[in-house]
């Protein structure tokens, strides 16, 4: 019989497992295994040879499987490892196309929602609630689409040192503050995610040589999305408040998809024009390409500072905010900032 009063032991084991895996990954990197050499491609923002398999260190969180009493959390852990494997195989072999990965994620996510009955039926909107509650298929599609967008959003923002990992840390801490008095198992689960992410964040942010890769971004996108669905469905957090906390990776996916379509490009093929890439390139131009690794990490600091402010504004003024209006404002602000910075970058390049 598993008990939850061994939380400290669980956290210690997770920390040790994470550190041991990172040491192994670094050893392999030093021996030139699983190396991604620096590229001149516009979307590559690293000056050193790096390894993309750092996300494997994040699976240390799964140790919590043996320390919670929640069957639902157990299922989240098992399916998250499947999602991780899809990305990790690409990190190793670099032969699985984005279309195949998207199809695999689509299948796994829909199977997960069907198996766990985590389809959303209430999102703090009476019209949508009626549709979701009356039509299971629509509810399933809506929930799976939201989760798939978030998974890909995490992958999109995983381009500079510490950005995706830092965003995950901000999100998890925000959730812990909001749910702490309500659900012990969820607290334990959130802490189990926070520990390996924080360790990898420090390594990634400071040195920039061990990346999360597709495996790490898919894993964290799935975990954060699943946690949000659980909280929304169990009424822990207003669903529009969750949407505000997650606006950044979602708007990245939606805007990038539309931007590529308007330019008549394949919307799932990568390019070099995400917001963090434009900010990074502007920093490189301003500082004459000196110390690329510092500028890489500085890009994350700029974006994460705004996200910290946004999340803690939501937490401290939770009962006074119109979250629908805030969501509209945040997305509008992203678009204004993107277009403003893109215009500056284009003028400099031309």
Q: What angle do CA 219, 224, 229 make, to 5 degrees?
A: 125
Radius of gyration, alpha carbons of the chain? 20
Give CA separation, 82 vs 86, 87, 216, 250, in Å.
Answer: 7, 9, 12, 22
220 token code pair: 């964290």
Q: Could you report the per-residue pLDDT of 94-131, keeping only the tens digit for each?
A: 899 999 999 999 999 999 999 999 987 777 767 676 67
The DSSP letter of residue 20 is H
Q: Are the beta carbons of 22 and 199 closer than 8 angstroms? A: yes
Q: Could you report the per-residue pLDDT of 218-263, keeping only the tens digit for each?
A: 999 999 999 999 988 876 678 889 999 999 999 999 999 999 999 8
Residues 6+ apart with CB under 8 A from 108: 79, 82, 83, 86
Q: Could you report the per-residue pLDDT of 168-199, keeping only the tens digit for each?
A: 999 999 999 988 666 678 889 999 999 999 99
Does the structure show a pLDDT above 50 at 3?
Answer: no
Q: Could you report the per-residue pLDDT of 29-65, keeping only the tens digit for each?
A: 999 888 876 554 444 566 567 899 999 999 999 999 9
160 token code pair: 């500079």
Q: Are the beta carbons of 197 and 165 closer than 8 angstroms? A: yes
Classify 4 as helix, strand or coil. helix
CA trace torsion 101, 104, 106, 111 (10° rounding): -160
Q: Are the beta carbons of 314 and 240 closer than 8 angstroms? A: no
How high does pLDDT run on average in the chain? Answer: 89
Residue 56 and residue 213: Cα distance in Å, rounded? 9
First to last CA, the chain: 66
pTM of the model: 0.93
pLDDT at 236: 67
pLDDT at 235: 63
> Which helix (H) or strand (E) covers residue 285, if one does?
helix 275-286
pLDDT at 289: 66
């Amino acid at each position: 019989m598993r008990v939850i009063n061994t939380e400290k032991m669980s956290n210690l084991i997770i920390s040790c497992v994470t550190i041991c895996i990172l040491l192994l990954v670094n050893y392999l990197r030093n021996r030139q295994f699983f190396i991604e050499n620096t590229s001149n491609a516009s979307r590559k923002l690293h000056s050193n040879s790096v390894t993309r398999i750092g996300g494997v260190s994040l699976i240390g969180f799964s140790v919590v499987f043996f320390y919670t009493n929640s069957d639902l959390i157990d299922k989240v852990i098992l399916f998250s490892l499947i999602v991780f494997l899809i990305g990790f195989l690409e990190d190793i072999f670099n032969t699985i196309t984005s279309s195949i990965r998207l199809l695999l994620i689509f299948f796994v996510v829909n199977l997960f929602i069907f198996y766990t009955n985590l389809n959303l039926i209430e999102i703090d909107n009476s019209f949508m609630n009626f549709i979701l509650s009356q039509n299971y298929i629509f509810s399933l599609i809506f929930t799976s689409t939201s989760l798939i967008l978030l998974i890909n959003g995490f992958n999109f923002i995983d381009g500079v040192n510490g950005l995706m990992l830092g965003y995950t840390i901000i999100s998890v801490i925000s959730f812990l503050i909001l749910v702490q008095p309500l659900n012990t198992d969820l607290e334990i689960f959130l802490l189990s995610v926070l520990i390996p992410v924080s360790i990898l964040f420090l390594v990634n942010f400071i040195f920039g040589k061990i990346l999360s890769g597709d495996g790490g971004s898919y894993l964290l996108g799935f975990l954060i999305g699943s946690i949000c669905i659980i909280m929304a469905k169990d009424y822990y957090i207003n669903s529009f408040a969750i949407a505000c906390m997650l606006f950044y990776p979602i708007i990245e996916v939606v805007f990038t998809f539309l931007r590529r379509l308007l330019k008549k490009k394949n919307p799932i093929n990568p390019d070099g024009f995400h917001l963090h890439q434009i900010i990074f390139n502007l920093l490189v131009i301003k500082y004459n390409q000196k110390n690329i690794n510092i500028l890489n990490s500085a890009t994350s600091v700029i974006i994460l500072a705004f996200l910290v402010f946004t999340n803690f504004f939501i937490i401290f003024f939770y009962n006074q905010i119109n979250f629908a209006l805030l969501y509209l404002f945040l997305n509008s602000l992203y678009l204004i900032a993107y277009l403003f910075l893109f215009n500056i970058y284009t003028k400099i390049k031309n």
